[in-house]
Each structure stands twice: as structure tokens, then as C-alpha cells.
Structure 1
Amino acid sequence: MSELSCDIGIGGMTCASCVTRVERAIAKLPGVQSVSVNLATESARVQWATSQAEEDAQTQQARLRRAVRDAGYEPLAAEHLENKPEGAWAGFMPVAVGLMLSAPLVLPMLGDALGQHWMLPALWQFLLATPVQFVLGARFYKAGWHALLAGSGNMDLLVALGTTAGWALSVWLWLNAPMGAMVNLYFEGSAVVITLVLLGKWLEARAKRQTTDAIRALHALRPAQARVITLDGEVDIPIEELLVGDRLVVLPGERFAADGVVLEGETQVDEAMLTGEPLPVHKTVEARVTGGSINGEGRVVVRVSATGTATVLANIIRLVEDAQAAKAPIQRLVDQVSAVFVPVVLVLALATLLAWWFTWHSVEVSLIHCVAVLVIACPCALGLATPAAIMAGTGVAAKHGILIKDAQALEVAHQVNTVAFDKTGTLTLGQPQLLSVLLAEEGATSLPLTALTQDAKHWLGVAASLQSASEHPLAHAVVQAAKTQGLGITSPQDAKAVVGSGSEGKVNGQQILLGSVRWMNELAVPLGALHRQVELLQAQGATVSVLAQRTNTGIQAIAVLAFGDQPKPGAKAALTTLRARGLRLAMISGDNMGAAQAMAARLGLMPNEVYADVMPGDKAALVRSLQHSPNGTPHVVAFVGDGINDAPALAAADVGLAMANLNAEGQRGGADVAMQAAGITLMRGDVALVAGALDISARTVAKIRQNLFWAFAYNAAGIPLAAMGYLSPVVAGAAMALSSVSVMTNALLLKRWKP
């Protein structure tokens, strides 16, 4: 049994009730585990369990499309959002026709205000209003009829019922009026309401296109073709045909077609759309490049390392799409309300009709007030309030290098009151350098790299050989120091990593260990003369590793290697900003307390904010302890990390933020773990983005609440006013259209946000 997911576009949805109806229709399909329909993106994400993956996937998608069609909506390709909009005025023609036909009907109303009587003959009113009612308004009848067949209601049903009642009343009054008598007709009300609703939907669709700008911009980063080196020379081929291992030629100003490694050349690469970093990144031979980034002034040859859905850009697009397709927890309240909203409105409209009729008013007056209730109660704004804000917020965040994985992370992040940081690679550069080597045989004298003895060089070469099989930052520092000294490096045998402690393996037939002082203490390795130097180096803030040899008589300490790291530029200022927001800070490190406290002092952290000697497997437990204060008050904790070993802590935190750390070499650091365990990915190693992520969360949630307030307020105030006769159908239609447009416009204000 496996689980599959599928995205499908859905055309014809107009309000929150449509969302509920589509979700119910899809949820009835066999095997469906969950379904989330998004009104703003006009799409659905469906997950189902299947035992025969390929065959069942095809069958399920066919059933899915059939269910959408049977519910009264149009199934579309999942890629419908990628299509470029046709222009600012696309789809305006029906609105323009409605305005032209409705204008002569509204003109007499304006004339009355000026003391003029420009009333059109009843036949002319009928001829102008009827095409608007039944041609331009046909979409409302079709969708409303499907809603009735499904035993539910939606915005279209309310509009169709309300305007039809107004049109039919006008026809009845006209046909039953005495010959030559002036009769008050309501054709203009029905025609103007339909035109205003169409205008509102057009403005809403135009605003929706702006909320999907982030997705469109990311898709646009992918070039259509790539220049591949073949036996016949350079050939342009579609990027869909690229294979891992292909060699690409990328000229100045062109976009990289796929992820790869530079084989020839040197250049500057603009990665702003991927990381939000405005400055170009220098790339040389063996540097990694990311598909979608822009080549600078140099011609380079690149070997493809990832294509299609495996590229960084594809992962970024998937993250943004997931966030925009997901529902925030607050949306559950909207779904519950929308499920009963239309039936309640129909009851209120009927009650309004009967109340006015039973209080000795005419049928036409009663019916007009009933129509006003039906029109103003359309729940369009209610369905758009949450998804519009989420789309705008996640889109603008992605533009600045903050990828929000799901709506839940977005909603929870603004509640964070404690931020815990991993030290190495998150608050520091994560590129430690070997500072000195101390040999036990030489009296534990500290030897800088510029004054190493032959024995010290020998053991440095041994350490580098062992570490050549490791990806740890300290291992890279040892290997780099050995290369700088021109020392030979051999491949170790039976090398293995001891998580959080060090590594062990055979080098030139000798069993070598290299790891933390804590590990050596656990192994009961006597440090002898090295002990004092270790304490001194740790007090100075250095990270210390011990090189030892396993023999028949036990494990013997041979040398101590001292490493130093630097705080990230701007890290101290970023921490100060977080503290100014009233947040509690914590730094978690696997280093000894002396080294951790020394770095904390450079970063402006307090001694009680430092947690040292923490094993990778213990970070998650420490995060959980931070979630509970001594007095029992729960804390909402965000954890910021950059490595694979941070995954448990990222998952344990209320909000996990993983730094991708796209460095000059193009290595992505925590990008993979970000896609897996963290709710939010910071695409560049800038600590200031943490405050940015919390800020965009707070602003997006604020927009959601504002939108929901106004969406409910329109109906809460409008329905009673319409029922009491203070609103005409025309004014009700304008207010209903304005509610949707105002919600979308309010959400689009987020696009102006900057970290």
C-alpha cells in the first residue's frame, strides 16, 4: 500500500460553498485520504492510498476529474496557473457588454436625481435587461442548477434566484399593467446586479493573477533549451531531454538550464530569484551552480548533476505550491460556516419576503427586499479571505529567500516567543580553520601551521587521510590544512563516523581515532601533558579535537588539533533585533562550554542562553525542554539549523527554520533537510531572515484576520440592512462585489513587504 498525491485545476468555483461542495464530492471517491480545495488558486490537492501505483493513479485521476465535472465544475490541467495571463483586460468583454446594456437602464435613476424624467418604455427595458439576465447571467444558472442537483447552494444560486425574481416581477408588472399606465419596473436592478457581480469577479480574477506572480516568476526561470556538447559539437536541445552527466555551455547573460558543477571557466552568478541575495556569487571550477540562476560575464562549461523535479528550482517551486495549496488551520472555521451559509441565507430571504408581506406591504416590495438579501449575502469574500493572504504572503516571502513549506508553519510562526539556534553554520560561518597542532611527544607545545615540525606534519597528514572520508566541517578544515602544507593524503580503510563524537579508521595500517575531548574521556584515553593545553585552548574559545592511536596496549593520545570559527556577518545585529522583539534566545552547541561561551560573547548572547556539549541526538530533547518553562507556561519554540543532524530538532520545534547556506562553492548545506523536516527554509545563510520569517508570518496572519473580519462584517451588517429595506438590490450587488475586491486588494498589500 502506497500513498499518492495529485493536483488538479478546477474552473467555475465562485465562493466558499463551492469549495465545500467540491471537497465533499472528491472525498467520496474510494481510497481518498485527504483533499484540500483552494479557491484562490482554483485547484485541489488530493492524496489517496493505492496498492497498484501506476494503474490506480491513472484510474484515480480519471475518477477525480469525473467527480469534479459531476459536481458542476470544470476539471483543468494542474499547470493552468503556469499559463501567462493574456493581459490586464483579459476576460473583460462580458463586463463591457453588461455595462453598455445596463447603462440606459440606470440613466433614468440619475435623471430623477436631476429632476428629469428619462424613463424608457417597458419594451426597451425588457430588450436591454433580458440578454444580461439570460446570456451574460447564464453562468449563474448553470452553476446554481448543479448546486441544487448536489443538494447544496452557492453564490451562483443566490444571484440566479435574486435576479430572476427581480426580472420576473418586472415582467409580471409590465404584462398586467393597464394600457398606457406608467408602472415602476425593476429590470435595472437585475441587470445591474449581474453586471456588478461580473465586474467584481473580473477584478477578483485580475487580483488572483497577481497573487500567483511568485509561481509564474519561478516557472519563468527555467529556460526552454540548453546548449549541450555532443560528438557533433554544440547542439541546442529542449531541457526536458537533459540527462545527468551532460555537458552544457552557458554563455554570458544566459540562465543555467539545470543544476550542475563547473568544469571550465570562471564567472559571477546572479542567484537573486533563488536566494534573495542581491550580490552575484563568484563561481570557479568545481563550484556548484543552480538551474534558473543567471550567468555573469564568463563563458562556462557545466556538467549536469540534477534535472527535472530533482533540481533546487523544482524543489523551491514545489515548496511554494505546497504552501499556497494548503489550508491554514483557521480556514477550518470558514469551511464549517460556509457549509451551512447558503441554506441559512435562503431561509432568511424567505423570512424577509414573508415578514414584509405579512405586514401589509405589496408583493413587489416584499420581493425586492428578499432579492436584496439574496444578493448581498453571497459568500465570495469568505472563501477568498484566507487563501488570498496565504498566497500573497508566501509569494513575497519566496521572493526574498524565505520558503514557507505549509500554511500551518506560517500561522504558528507569529506566535513564537523562543528562538533556539544551532551554533556551527547557523550563527557562525561553519567554515572552521585549523589553527594549531599540539603533539604530546613535544611537550604539548602549541605549533601554528606555519611552524610545524616534521612529526607534526606527519600526524596532520594521517589526520587528513582519516578525515578525507568525512563531510564534517572540521574534517574539511583538516584536509584543507594538509593540502596547504603540501602533504600527501591517502584513502582510509574501514573508516566510520561516530555520530556527534568523531571518526575512526585505518591509515597506513594504523588504527586512528580523531574526535572530541568528550569522546576521548568516554574512552578513558589519558591526555597527560595535553590536558592543560586543552583547557587553555577551550577557555580561549577554540574547538578542540584529539588525535589518538589504538594499539594492543590501549588508546594513546598523540596530538590535539585546535580549530577556530567566525561569527556570521550581521549575526550579532540580527540577534539583537530578535531580542528587541521580546523573544527569548538560545544557542545550542556540541562544543565544550568554554568554546561555546566564548562564541556567545562575540555574538552578544548571555551565559544563560548557551547550551553546550549537546549531542546531535539530544538537540530534539533540548528543544522540547525549551517548550516548557519551570512555572509550567508553554513556550512556542522555533529552532534554526543548517545540517542533517539538525533534522530531529527541526521536526521537534513548533516551527523549524533550516538555512540552506548557498555559499560561494554553491553547496546547499541544509537544503535537503529543509525540504524534509523544517516548516520554513531560509535560502541563504543570513540570520536576519529569521526575523523576516517571523515578521511575514505575523503580517500574513494579520491580513487573514482582517479579511475574515471584513468578510463576516459585510454579511453581518448587510443582511439585516437588506432585510429591513435599507438596501436596494443594486446597492446590495455593489456591496457584495466590493467585499470580494476589498479582500483581494487587502491581501495584495503584502506584496510590498520587505524583510
Structure 2
Amino acid sequence: MNTTTLPQESLPDAEVCELDLGIGGMTCASCVSRVEKALKKQPGVMAATVNLATETARVSLNTADTPDSTEVLARLKRAVRDAGYEPRAVEAMDEEVAKGWLGVPRDAWPVILGALLSAPLALPMVGDLAGKHWMLPAWIQFLLAMPVQFVLGARFYKAGWHALKALTGNMELLVAIGTTAGWALSTWLWWRADAGEMVHLYYEGSAVVITLVLLGKWLEARAKRQTTEAIRALHALRPENAHLLPDGVRRTELTDVPVDELLPGDVIRVLPGERFAADGTVVAGSTQADESMLTGEAMPVHKTVGDAVTGGSLNGEGAVEVRVRAVGAQSVLSRIIALVQDAQAGKAPVQRMVDQVAAVFVPAVLVIALITLGAWLWQGALLEDALLHAVAVLVIACPCALGLATPAAIMAGTGVAARHGILIKDAQALEIAHRVDTVAFDKTGTLTEGHPRLRRLVAMPGVDERALLQTAAALQAQSAHPLARAVVEAAQEQGIEVSPESATDVQAVAGRGSQGQVQGTVLALGSLRWMGELKVALGHLQAEAEAEQGAGASVSVLASQAPDGGWVPLALLSFGDEPKAGAAQAIAELRERGIRVVMVSGDNQGAATAMALRLGLRPDAGEVIAEVLPGDKASVVRQLKEGGHTVAMVGDGVNDAPALAAADVGMAMSHAQGGSSDVAMHAAGITLMRGDPLLVSAALDISRRTVGKIRQNLFWAFAYNVAGIPLAALGFLSPVVAGAAMALSSVSVLTNALLLKRWRAPQR
């Protein structure tokens, strides 16, 4: 589904729209479930998806039911606040944490203060190991524990209270109940002790647990910021200002203006070492452009007059003038950022299982803690011992790791993929891609350069070849088809004047060719199949066509309509294309992974087979499907799926969009200049930002690795609780150890996900 991320302040007058809300204060999978339920209850909300790792919610709204955008946003914010969380602007969630006193990050101070107050309380535990008795007086322990419990720990009480009001539970509720029980037990033991009696208190347990939980949350926040650095890096590519050239009317001198004020058609100057301020076309000068942050292409790309440049890419050694083509949300960089944000805001199918578990997890833990308390008392244990075991159960069972397991891996995986030119539109495509066992490639522009050249023009006897080329070029001048462009380029190279106005009533016949009138003569230029349908007798051109097809060329015929309505051949045109660099290697790599590769082509069988052999494909093994009309590519994909295969379709043009949508995973090869591939991008779940077939194998590989990390994270998150809760209930874990383990589980899940940042795409 194509999503549109809207600013928090405004909504368009559309039937359905989507917006992102920042949400502060979420800590576990239970929080995610509670916020989603609160948002879905609001009028006009069709769906709501909350991401714990990004701390954002994506809300789908039916604006026909809720035309007042101000009221809608107010209700959503109120719902978030009533659920116990803080609505924020999405932009604020991505900001770096400000420095506080002494240059220490502001969010680190609660951890530092907690450690300073808890250290004296925990010191006797260290002393016991050395045979020393450093127990502090009860009143000092009380004074040290109070600010930790009720000032630094106030966040747990606040969030836990909101959870109770909603008749649900979350991590804070478990921590609040557990630590309060330890603090209250210590206070009661001190209060009932005789004067001068040295009684063992448990203030250190509650204080250290709160400090460890705060430490864990601080480490989580740091790790989360690392998982979102891909988005921040993309935002950082936008320059602040542009050098706007004079237009002779309104501006008579070079002016520096904010990039937001640029308009299509403006001409800007880009100096060496600066970033291009917008998408455009070079109109003066030449240079090298570093597009690595956008496409993953490590080598600079030469740019001269007429070449497209992408906003955000880095200019090399030359000063150039660029005519602005696209700005704002229409720019390539904005579309890339939107795609990455969509993927990171989405929820993978496997996350549904986690949400179902989280919904019953906290209530189940509270029951287990009560059973633990009752069982120990029934066995004759002292109240304080039984209570400590129950507290340990509450502390170790916090479902933080469960809530972070999936989104953290998805964010890290989509982020590193984006840096290598692979844009994953949604989490579902990421999760399905690792199961792909068949890859279907479109031929032209995907496995081949897509810039065919006119190799030969064979005219019928007595007909002037140069005049025929001029006529064919006039007929094709208005078409964007690669073969049509090849005809026009061949005419221009021979110095032939191409006059598009001389062609009238030109129509494209889908999958066949073009038809129109040139200087009053009705002409058709297209495939041999079409010529057969028109009953064109090729005569001696038939042998030429077969010879060219055997050599791997694509063959078209130019025919004119006779007065009796029949068709007479005028010339045969032979076109040649070249395989892309790395195409054969990409096919070989996929085959090594055990993936079947199929090439789908509209060419005749001979031409398709000849190209397939150059690419290393095996036509005798069914790896070439030729003579496929554009509208039938989707049927080919469906047939492959009906054979029990998980299919990825790779294409780059408008005519590939139905097949991309029909595949389990569609992969669109994008071109920096946009154009027809935009349609393919919208239909596909994965966009490859440069036309390198090796990226197909890379996309499947990062999908496999990301899904692997999700499974690892979920395994350890579940295993941690499955093992930790019984150990705590049986008395093998103290609350302090349980708190440390709980904090470690969340950090370990995030650290494991961040290992994906070390992934590198295969190189040619």
C-alpha cells in the first residue's frame, strides 16, 4: 500500500490519509498494545500501528467521517495522553538529547543520581564478600532510598497508575509493585524493630533495581538512536541554501535562497564540494557526482549538460548550473526518506504473535508472583523471604525485550539496506523476501542496458534506406519506448532531420508497435508477431529476420498500408542490446543460493534465447519465457506462484507494474531521474535505487539476515522469561540480580539487532 506521511499539524481534504505521531513514555510491548487500542477507539480512525523502537504511531484516518482536522488531531493527542503517554511531534523524537549540567546528556542524570544514592546501600553486600560488616544505620538507608524510590522512580508509579486505570499492565507496573513491596517491607521491619536492634533491611534491593532499570532504559534509548541514524543521515543530505541564478526579470544577480523556496524551472549554481539542492538537469558545465548515500554506488558518476542530478548528492570538482525539476515531497531524496520511514513504521506479520502474548503477559506475571508469595508462605518461609521471591518474579518478567525484538531488527535492517541503495517499502516485503525461491527478471532495462541501438536497416529493393529511416524516425519521435528512441538516435547520428510534426494520428499499439500517418501514408512499425497479425508478406526480408534473431537481435518491420487495405513491407530494422555489467554474476549468485532464475521477455524466442545464453541462463531448463506481451507478465508470475513457488519479480518500467504487484515480492529498479519507473516503484515492495542486478541478491540477503535477527531476538526474549521467571520463583535470583538481568535482556536484543549495521552488499 502506498502511504503518505503527513505533518502532525495538518491534514489534506482526502478520503483516507495517514499521519505519524510521536509518543513518549512507552517501554514495553504492553504499552504498544494499550496505545493502539486507545487510538483505534477514536472517531474516523481506520487503523493504528505503534512502533516501540521509533516511539511513533502511524494512524490511518477516514477524513470523510472526520472533516475537522484540528479536532481529529486534538482527539488523537488526548487519547495518547489519557492512556498515560506523551504525544509529541515526530521531528522531536529524532532530535539528539541535549547536554545538561557538566556536559552530561540530560537523560543520563537520573541514572547517575540513582547510582550515587544506591552505591552506599549496596556497599554492605560487597563488604559481606570480604568478611566486613559495613551496614549503615537504618535511618541513613531510609534517607538514601526515599529519593530513589519516589523521585527517580516516580515515572514507574505514574505509568503504572495509568495502566491500572486502563485495567491492563505494563513494565512500569511490575517495577512499581515489586520495588514498593521491597521498600515497604524494609520500612515495616525497621518500624517494628526494638530500639538499638540491628535488623536486616532491603532498601538496597529496591534502589538498585530502579537504578538498573533506569540504566537499561538509557542504554535502550542510545541504541534506538543508532537504529534511526539512517533517517537522520538522509535528512542531513539536504543543504540549507541554494545559489539561485538571475532570470533577467525578477532577479538580476546571484541570490542565496532557502532550499524550501526553490521552484521547478529555477536555475541554480552548484559549486565544487556542495550538495545539489534539488533534483534537476545540468544546463551548463560538467562534474562528477557522488550519489553513494542515495544509490549505494561507490564510484562518482560523470555529469554533463543534459544529465539528471539528484538533490542531496555531492558535487565533485566542477561548478555546474542546474535547472530544477522536482522539489519538496516530489524529489528523489524525499521519496527515499518516505519509503524508509514507511518500512520502519510498519509492523511485521510476526509481530502479531508478540502483541497477542503481550496482551496477557503482565496479568499472568502478577498471578505468578502471587502464587510464588503464597507457595513460599505455605512452605513456612518468613514473610520477608517470600515477598522478596515474589518481587524477583515481578522484576525479571518485564516484557521490554519482547516489544523491541522485531522493530529494532527491522529498523536496523531497513536502515543499512537504504545505505546500499535498497529501499524496503514495508515490513511484510522484508519478511517474505527471505522465503523467495524463484526470481523472475524482466529483460530490457533490467538484465540488459535497456538502450538498444539500431544495428541494421534492410530496405526492400528500390527503396531509399535514408528516406525510410527519416520516415521511421518521424513515426517514432513521440514514443518513449527504447526501440523508438534507438530509431530516432540512429537518424540523428546520420545527420537526418527528424520532423515529429510530419507524423499524424500516431498511436501506440500495446506490446506490438506504433501506427500513424507520415506525409499521408499510413504506416505501421512493430514486431514480427504484429506483422503476422496484419498478414504482411515479408518476402526476402523473412530470411534476414531469421538471421538477425539467431544472432540475438530484436527485429521490427516498417510496413505501409496499400489502397486495398493490405500491408506492404518497406524495411526490416534490427536492434541490439547489451547485458548489464554484473547481470551474469547476479544470476550466478542467485543460483548458488538455490534460487531459480527466470527471464521474462517480449522478444521472440530466438532473440531471447541468444541474450539468455550471454547471461548464463539455461533456456533448455525453462529459464527463458519469451514472446510475452506486457499485459501477460502478471499471468506468468501467477503461474509461477501456482507452481508452489515464492516469487520475486524484478522490473523497471510501467509495463512491469502489474507483474510487480502480482509477485510475492516486487523489486523495482529505479532510475535517479524518475520517469516511468515511478509507477513500478509504487507497485513494488522493494526499490533498488540503481540499475544493478547484483542488488537483487543483496536485497534477498539482507532480508534473510534481518528475519534471522528477528527470530534470534524473539527466541532470547521468550527464553529469558521462560528461564528467568521459574528461577526467581524458586528463590535462585534476588531482586537485584533480576533487575540486572531484565535490563541486560533489552540491551542485548538491541545490540544483536545493531549487528546488522555491519552488513555489506556484494560487490561486482
Choose which of 371, 383, 394 in structure 2 pairs with 1:351: 371
Aligned 8 A contact 1:404 1:679 in 2: yes
State the match for 2:34 in structure 1.
21
State the match for 1:505 in structure 2.
516
Q: Does 1:255 align with 2:275?
A: yes
Q: Does 1:655 align with 2:653?
A: no
> After alignment, is 366-375 or 667-676 more displaced?
667-676
Aligned 8 A contact 1:81 1:216 in 2: no
Q: Does 1:597 align with 2:609?
A: yes
Choose which of 212, 215, 239 in structure 2 pairs with 1:223: 239
Alignment map for 1:342-491 (pairs within 5 Å): 342-441=362-461, 455-491=464-500
Cα–Cα, structure 1 residues 74 and 525, in superposed 2: closer, same or farther, change >3 Å? same
- Structure 1 residue matching 2:245: 3-state secondary structure: strand
Gaps of 5+ in 2: 1-13
- Structure 1 residue matching 2:648: 3-state secondary structure: strand
Aligned 8 A contact 2:405 2:714 in 1: yes
Alignment map for 1:24-63 (pairs within 5 Å): 24-51=37-64, 55-63=67-75
State the match for 1:307 in structure 2.
327
State the match for 2:78 in structure 1.
66
Q: Displacement of 1:661 after TM fit? A: 3.8
Q: Deviations over 1:397-434 (max 9, x none)?
A: 00000000100000000000001100111111111010
Q: Deviations over 1:375-396 (max 9, x none)?
A: 0010000000000000000000
Q: Displacement of 1:752 after TM fit? A: 0.1
Equivalent AA in structure 1 for residue 486 of structure 2: A
Aligned 8 A contact 1:658 1:673 in 2: no
Choose which of 187, 199, 205 in structure 1 pairs with 2:215: 199
Choose which of 620, 637, 647 in structure 2 pairs with 1:637: 647
State the match for 1:153 in structure 2.
169
State the match for 1:743 in structure 2.
749
**TM-score (structure 2 length as normaliser):** 0.95
Q: Displacement of 1:455 after TM fit? A: 1.1
State the match for 1:327 in structure 2.
347
Aligned 8 A contact 1:82 1:219 in 2: no
Q: Deviations over 1:465-516 (max 9, x none)?
A: 1111011111111111000001011112221111111111222222221111
Aligned 8 A contact 2:437 2:596 in 1: yes
Mapped partners of 1:696, 1:396: distance in 2 = 9
Alignment map for 1:227-242 (pairs within 5 Å): 227-230=243-246, 231-242=251-262
Mapped partners of 1:232, 1:186: distance in 2 = 78
Mapped partners of 2:684, 2:334: distance in 1 = 17
Mapped partners of 2:553, 2:675: distance in 1 = 23
Mapped partners of 1:671, 1:433: distance in 2 = 21
Equivalent AA in structure 2 for residue 23 of structure 1: E
Choose which of 578, 594, 600 in structure 2 pairs with 1:582: 594
Cα–Cα, structure 1 residues 674 and 739, in superposed 2: closer, same or farther, change >3 Å? farther
Q: Does 1:539 align with 2:550?
A: yes
Q: Deviations over 1:236-261 (max 9, x none)?
A: 11111111111111111111111111
Mapped partners of 2:415, 2:680: distance in 1 = 18
Gaps of 5+ in 1: 443-453
Equivalent AA in structure 1 for residue 288 of structure 2: Q
Aligned 8 A contact 1:413 1:697 in 2: yes
Cα–Cα, structure 1 residues 683 and 389, in superposed 2: closer, same or farther, change >3 Å? same
Q: Displacement of 1:235 after TM fit? A: 1.0
Aligned 8 A contact 1:432 1:477 in 2: yes
Aligned 8 A contact 1:85 1:209 in 2: no
Q: Deviations over 1:170-215 (max 9, x none)?
A: 0000011011111010000000000000000000000000000100
- Structure 1 residue matching 2:311: 3-state secondary structure: coil
Q: Displacement of 1:531 after TM fit? A: 1.0
Choose which of 611, 621, 625 in structure 1 pairs with 2:639: 625
Q: Does 1:79 align with 2:98?
A: no
Cα–Cα, structure 1 residues 752 and 670, in superposed 2: closer, same or farther, change >3 Å? farther
Q: Deviations over 1:145-190 (max 9, x none)?
A: 1111111110001000100110011000001101111101000000
- Structure 1 residue matching 2:597: 3-state secondary structure: strand
Mapped partners of 1:509, 1:107: distance in 2 = 101
Q: Does 1:526 align with 2:537?
A: yes
Equivalent AA in structure 2 for residue 570 of structure 1: G
Q: Displacement of 1:49 after TM fit? A: 1.1
Equivalent AA in structure 2 for residue 464 of structure 1: A
Mapped partners of 1:585, 1:640: distance in 2 = 11
Mapped partners of 1:367, 1:494: distance in 2 = 89
Equivalent AA in structure 1 for residue 530 of structure 2: W
Q: Deviations over 1:523-575 (max 9, x none)?
A: 11111221111111111111001111123222211001000001111111111
Aligned 8 A contact 2:94 2:225 in 1: no
Q: Displacement of 1:232 after TM fit? A: 3.0
Q: Does 1:549 align with 2:563?
A: no
Aligned 8 A contact 2:170 2:362 in 1: yes
Mapped partners of 1:551, 1:432: distance in 2 = 30
Aligned 8 A contact 1:84 1:216 in 2: no
Cα–Cα, structure 1 residues 227 and 85, in superposed 2: closer, same or farther, change >3 Å? farther
> After alignment, is 250-259 or 327-336 more displaced?
250-259
Q: Does 1:615 align with 2:629?
A: yes
Equivalent AA in structure 2 for residue 141 of structure 1: Y
- Structure 2 residue matching 1:233: 3-state secondary structure: coil
Equivalent AA in structure 1 for residue 123 of structure 2: L
Mapped partners of 1:674, 1:72: distance in 2 = 42
Mapped partners of 1:72, 1:251: distance in 2 = 51
Mapped partners of 1:439, 1:504: distance in 2 = 19
Mapped partners of 1:342, 1:183: distance in 2 = 33
Number of residue pairs matched? 735
Aligned 8 A contact 1:215 1:317 in 2: yes
Choose which of 172, 176, 186 in structure 2 pairs with 1:170: 186
- Structure 1 vs Structure 2: percent identity of aligned residues? 65
> After alignment, is 647-656 or 229-238 more displaced?
229-238
Choose which of 84, 89, 104 in structure 1 pairs with 2:120: 104
Mapped partners of 1:457, 1:477: distance in 2 = 15
Equivalent AA in structure 1 for residue 700 of structure 2: L
Mapped partners of 1:78, 1:644: distance in 2 = 34
Choose which of 547, 550, 559 in structure 1 pairs with 2:571: 559
Q: Deviations over 1:446-466 (max 9, x none)?
A: xxxxxxxx8101110111111
Equivalent AA in structure 1 for residue 732 of structure 2: Y
Mapped partners of 2:551, 2:325: distance in 1 = 42
> After alignment, is 65-74 or 507-516 more displaced?
507-516
State the match for 2:678 in structure 1.
672
Equivalent AA in structure 2 for residue 510 of structure 1: T
- Structure 2 residue matching 1:441: 3-state secondary structure: coil
Q: Displacement of 1:90 after TM fit? A: 5.0
**TM-score (structure 1 length as normaliser):** 0.96
Equivalent AA in structure 1 for residue 478 of structure 2: A
- Structure 2 residue matching 1:24: 3-state secondary structure: helix
Mapped partners of 1:580, 1:542: distance in 2 = 29
Mapped partners of 1:90, 1:279: distance in 2 = 41
Q: Displacement of 1:332 after TM fit? A: 0.2
